[in-house]
Amino acid sequence: MLSIITAIHNQLPVNRLFWEHLKRYTASPFELIIIDNASTDGSAEFFESVGARVIRNPVNYSYPVSQNQGLAIAQGDWFGFLNNDIVVSPDWDRHLMDNMAANGLEVATCCGIEQLETAAASQAIKRRWRRIKGVCSLLGINAFSLRLMHRWMYRGDWQGFCADRYRRFRLQAAEGFVGNTVMMARSALAKLGPWDETQQGADFDLYLRSKKRALEQGDIRPMHIALDTFNHHFIRLTVKAGPPQFADVDRLIPLETKWSAAELAWLSQRLGS
């Protein structure tokens, strides 16, 4: 079984869209674990109504604390750490797991607007998204504008766009990460440990930890991006929604405080930037 863990604070229209596509396009049996960080708009109640396991926090916690709360009760052999402001692709989970198996990976991410197979491809899709998001955002962030953004971005054929990428890049992967969707086998948890609760940029930290473990222990491959599996990310909607300050903000430290310049340079030289 797949355990999907997602942290939220309000954004009910985003959450409804997320669930609609998650239910439609996830191939594996799954449990959905929602970490609700003090929502006031009915989001917690919505997820409870569709059968999700909801942990209700009285305050807003950072990303790594939220993910670890979900891990503590997750029952699956696979963990999917998903942002709520995404639209998953058809069979995203099966495609991602197949890619991981083919490439000997225990932790991987989907590709997305943030990063594709080349710098030129990434720049092109980012430019298109910025134009479409800029126009549609004039309507506000609501159910209509979210669907309009997504429809225009993929020319009304989301399934066709995803199928084309799967055909062209089937089972191909490149080292790196796109943090809105992280898939981890339970076996990786014993090697890498849970999310570091001092790092709000915990996805980058996990990537670095996987690289370091690969060099020092050789029992895991660094995190890779599955180029055949694309999830759409609306990008920065959560920040723009103005959530309250993290209750654990005093524990958070910059990535550069945890990782020295010498460590980062060593990792970059040995395994590629």
Q: How confident is the model at residue 241 (pLDDT cuts 50, 70, 90)?
A: low
**Does the structure show a pLDDT above 70 at 48?**
yes
pLDDT digits (tens, 9 = 90+) for 199-228: 999 999 999 999 999 999 999 999 999 999
Full residue range of the structural domain in which residue 183 is found = 2-271
CATH no. for residue 85?
3.90.550.10
Model's pTM, two decimal places? 0.95
pLDDT digits (tens, 9 = 90+) for 92-150: 999 999 999 999 999 999 999 999 999 999 999 999 999 999 999 899 889 999 999 99
Q: How many distinct structural domains can be found in the chain?
A: 1
Q: How confident is the model at residue 236 (pLDDT cuts 50, 70, 90)?
A: confident
Give the per-residue pLDDT at 240. Answer: 65
Q: How confident is the model over 154-160, as a mean pLDDT?
A: 98
Q: Which residues does 36 contact at the CB level (< 8 Å), separation at least 6?
A: 8, 9, 43, 44, 47, 54, 55, 56, 57
The pair of structure tokens assigned to 237 is 């909607």
Minimal CA–CA distance to 223: which of 269, 168, 179, 165? 179
Cβ pair 271, 175 in contact under 8 A: yes
Give the per-residue pLDDT at 15. Answer: 98
> What is the amino acid identity at position 201?
G
